[in-house]
Amino acid sequence: MSRNPIDLFVEALPTAAAQAFSAKTSAAWNVTLNEKPRSFPAGTQLLTMLLVAEPSKTEAAIQISLESTLTLAAALGGTPAPPTQFQPEHAQAVRALLAEACEKAGQALKGTQVKLQLAKALPWTPARQFSLTGTDGASRNVEFQLLFAADWASGTTNADAQSSHTENSTNVSLLENVEIDVTLRFGERRLPLREIGELRSGSVIELDKSLQDPAELLLGDRIVARGEVVIVDGNYGMRITEVV
């Protein structure tokens, strides 16, 4: 039984985020999923990033407070204290960091890629919400939320199906140019071995079909079509009247 894509992504994100945070800073980060989601207090200034699943275009989002954004920006810049003023480059640096974590977590979703982009606001009402907390074991602590639109799980599931369909279509297309021998059969007749031994040039064999009966096109021993015998540029051909 396949697991919910949201649960797969949420389970993979803490480890992916800890790895990304640790690789980009001089500290060993630990990121955990909180047992109960915690909403930000009213009035908290948030940085919002849309998490778009490709190719379905369904959306989730990450929201992080400006305070945590500046904390991560300081860690990325190697400075002990967070910047006193928020700048656009801080948002871009944190987006790139979280995008790397999301791409790693997205590997748990077969046939789906996730991309993180800055947004001014959340354009939909979250159907599911998760809270994550990160710490470098010293003075830096950050918290961010992961929010999912109602159609995100079905969109990533459909992406698996679409990927499978694409792979199957590709496999079929690879076989389209393979040549297979087919046989045009006018009729048949069973002959005793004695009559076969008496065949000479000019002998006539009567088949089991009349001139009005359709000829048959065979693939191996299987009849795949019936039709009328025609002459095409001096060669026998067949005009299909029935596909079996």
Per the model's pLDDT, the better-predicted residue between 111 and 19 turns out to be 19
Percent of the chain with pLDDT over 90: 41
CATH topology of domain 183-243: Surface presentation of antigens (SPOA) (2.30.330)
Tokens of 222: 């299987």
Verdict on whether the full-model pTM lies above 0.95? no
pLDDT of residue 97: 95
The gap between the terminal CA atoms of the chain, to the nearest Å, is: 38
**Do the domains at 5-162 and 183-243 have one common CATH topology?**
no
For the segment 200-225, the average pLDDT, to the nearest whole number, is 82
Handedness of CA 23, 24, 28, 34 (dihedral sign): negative
pLDDT at 238: 82
Give me the mean pLDDT over the 131-148 stretch.
94
Please, how many CA atoms are within 13 Å of residue 150, restricted to the half-sphere of its CB?
A: 2
* pLDDT tens by residue, 48-64: 999 998 888 889 999 99
pLDDT at 123: 87
- For the chain, where are the alpha helices, taking DSSP H only? 5-24, 66-77, 88-105, 152-175, 193-197
Reported confidence tier of residue 71, pLDDT bands at 50, 70, 90: very high
* pLDDT given for residue 167 in this prediction: 52
CATH-assigned architecture of domain 5-162: 3-Layer(aba) Sandwich (3.40)
- What does the DSSP assignment read for 109-168? STT-EEEEEEESS--S--SEEEEEEEE-SSS-EEEEEEEE-TTHHHHHHHHHHHHHHHHH
**Which of 25-34, 60-69, 89-98, 166-175 shows the lowest per-residue confidence on average (mean pLDDT)?**
166-175
CA angle 152, 153, 159 (to 5 degrees): 90
The confidence score (pLDDT) of residue 160 equals 47
Pick from 38-47, 56-65, 100-109, 234-243: least confident? 234-243
Domain ranges (residues) in the chain: 5-162, 183-243
DSSP state of 211: T
Contacts of 77 (CB under 8 A, 6+ apart): 93
Is residue 142's pLDDT more than 90? yes
On the question of pLDDT at 184 being above 70, the answer is yes
Mutual orientation of helices 152-175 and 5-24 as an angle, nearest 10°? 90
Q: How confident is the model at residue 237 (pLDDT cuts 50, 70, 90)?
A: confident
- 233 to 117, 215, 236, 237, 241: CA distances (angstroms): 63, 19, 8, 9, 20
In terms of phi and psi (left: phi > 0; alpha: psi -120 to 50; beta: otherwise), the region of 48 is beta
Mean pLDDT of the chain, nearest integer: 85
As a whole number of angstroms, the distance between CA 49 and CA 219 comes to 57
Among 13, 203, 171, which Cα is nearest to 97's? Answer: 13
